[in-house]
Amino acid sequence: MRPFSTRTMRRELKPLELAFLGDAVYGLYIRHYLLLKGVVRPFQLQRQSVRFVAAKAQARVLKHLMPLLSEAEKDVVRRGRNAKPRSVPKNTDVLTYKQSSAFEALIGHLYLENNDRRLEQLIDESILFIENNQDGQVT
């Protein structure tokens, strides 16, 4: 379901609105991935999903993905990163939160563009990156 699939609506969405949508889309992909992986207990699903959806993880993923992005995608990332949030969660700093919001804005943008191939390509790359860097270190 993509109710905002016209170009006009996509351009009117603010970066934090794209991030809001991207957060939901990314979370759904991660939950699907974990279920396919065989994680079925609710506590384990929640704990495992945090590895992927936490602001720190998303900020690391974005840094990893930046060389792979087109100029148009980098522009979406810049807009997302430069958005001014009203508040920042207690468990992260402003810079990390802005980076994770930029990643989510990119995911939301790709979703609204109906660019499923690119969306899945970047999400697959983010999953591989997190799975291969469980210690949290950026390569």
Known catalytic residues?
A: 23
Of 69, 48, 72, nearest to 125 by C-alpha is 69
Reduced to 3 states, what is the DSSP secondary structure of residue 6? coil
Checking 132-137 for CB contacts under 8 A at 24+ apart, the result is: 133/60, 134/51, 136/56, 136/57, 136/60
